[in-house]
Amino acid sequence: MTSTTASALAAHLPAVRHIGILLFDGVEELDAFGPWEVLANWTLNHPDDGWAVSFLSRDGAPVRAAKGLVLDAHHSFPDAPHMQVLIHPGGQGTRVLMRDPDHLAWVRAQRESVPLMTSVCTGALVYAAAGLLTGRPATTHWESLELLASLDRTIQMQPMERFVDDGDVITSAGVSAGIDMALHLVARLAGVDRARTVRRDIQYDPQPTV
């Protein structure tokens, strides 16, 4: 293949757009891995859609999750690719992050450069503390709804929703709701048919028996 031909082919390939999932000490495992399962299935099986997903932590080092699982990151904050979507999971670690000025400043900086900010579970507490949810509809884990409301009384609480899409900010309810939110992301970014394909692939069809 000549260099001219290769250049012509490359010009027709979509630029890879990145989704970052944040990791931190005390992150709830399923908050991070639920969206990862959905988004990795999509991006790996359908590369022509032009999306990639990766984990990032503050310094790129492994983190210890809420139930003891040690999780590794692909990137640190400084070396992470430019993101089109950021997913901020929840977990007990958010109680520290929502009071960490450096982390809140980082979140606000992402708001300036990342087109779509999303959260799972108590990740919404961090967004609220950073001022991202002022005057917006939002949700979080049912046990943290009062805390979310207390952080910003202008938030329009949506306690019955699995996720709330407010355009450039999406919040989801607790833990497993991150799977629903991630499938919604696929539908937004690649179409409903693609999201249905991913849903079938991961055999996600919750039918509680208890």
Beta strands in the chain (DSSP E): 17-22, 51-57, 63-64, 70-71, 75-76, 83-88, 116-119, 137-138, 156-157, 163-165, 169-172
Three-class SS of residue 83? strand
The answer to whether 20 and 85 are in contact (CB under 8 A) is yes
> Which entry of 104, 116, 121, 148 is annotated as an active-site residue?
121
Residues 6+ apart with CB under 8 A from 140: 90, 119, 121, 122, 123, 124, 125, 148, 171, 173, 174
Decide if 121 is catalytic. Answer: yes
Which positions are catalytic? 121
